[in-house]
Structure 1
């Protein structure tokens, strides 16, 4: 398993890029899993559903399963948010894990930058950013980069700069 992240400010296009990258990588024979950091208030369940009622009643974990998928929800109930390394250990083996969010963690990343956001570049202050996908040329040109619309080139950057998961877990 190899690991890379997509890092960028909100509105830069990380999720859109992810949805375009996954089919490109799959078409190259690469199996992909994703790990997305969400805001603290997210929920994948709805009031009135049995699984929601189980959690509301105090269950620490609720596993929902069907013939098509299964999902395990874990309530932290005041415990600290698990670090990225602990979450990565919960994934089944694949060729590549792409992390969206966790931009302050020490894993290899591709910066996603959109000029219209008006936000500063991340790579000058993050030594773990290995490449850039942007709608404008990055300053200084010290990192490999591709245009946000060049999905094939970005997939190439992802594959070139993803690192073995074990090396991150050894330090995380």
Structure 2
């Protein structure tokens, strides 16, 4: 399974990009999964539901299953947040796992950069970045720069970098 990160400062458009890139890659015949880092407490469950009651009662893991999907929730309680390698071990094999966030982890990443955000390039000090997606010119970078709005070109880069072949 190939892994590639999409990283950038808050507001750069990571989720928006993935919402466009995933369909382009799946149209090309790839099986794609995603992993997203959240910087805050989040919950995929709802108070009052049986699974929520199970977790609140102290269950470490709760699986919910139906004819359409299943979800496994794991409570860390007082354990440390797992690293990328541990999280990837829980993913089913696919052609490409796209990781949103985790901008300081060592896996290969593409940076989404918008000069209007007023933030520095993450890739300037981190060699794990392999390209920059931007809505304008990027100075002082030796990395390839791809137009953030050119989804086919981004998909081409992803395929080439990850050494994947389109199935369609």
Counterpart for residue 28 of structure 1: 28
Give the match's secondary structure for 2:97: strand
Would the aligned equivalents of 1:108 and 1:161 in 2 still touch at CA under 8 Å? no
Taking structure 2 as the reference length, what is the TM-score of the superposition? 0.94
1:11-56 per-position Cα deviation (integer Å, ceiling 9, x unaligned): 0000000010000000111110001001231110111111111101
Question: How far does residue 74 in structure 1 lie from its aligned partner after superposition?
Answer: 0.4
Give the match's secondary structure for 1:81: coil
Counterpart for residue 138 of structure 2: 138
Would the aligned equivalents of 2:124 and 2:141 in 1 still touch at CA under 8 Å? no
Say if 1:148 and 1:32 are closer, same or farther in 2 by CA, change over 3 A. same
Counterpart for residue 149 of structure 1: 149
Taking structure 1 as the reference length, what is the TM-score of the superposition? 0.91
Question: How far does residue 163 in structure 1 lie from its aligned partner after superposition?
Answer: 7.1
Question: How far does residue 154 in structure 1 lie from its aligned partner after superposition?
Answer: 0.9
Give the match's secondary structure for 1:35: strand
- How many residue pairs match? The answer is 164
* Separation (CA, whole Å) in 2 of partners of 1:31 and 1:154: 17
Counterpart for residue 43 of structure 1: 43
Aligned ranges 1:85-96 → 2 under 5 Å: 85-96=85-96
Q: Which runs of 5+ in 1 are unaligned?
A: 165-172
* Separation (CA, whole Å) in 2 of partners of 1:121 and 1:141: 9
Q: Which runs of 5+ in 2 are unaligned?
A: none
1:69-91 per-position Cα deviation (integer Å, ceiling 9, x unaligned): 00000001100111100101111
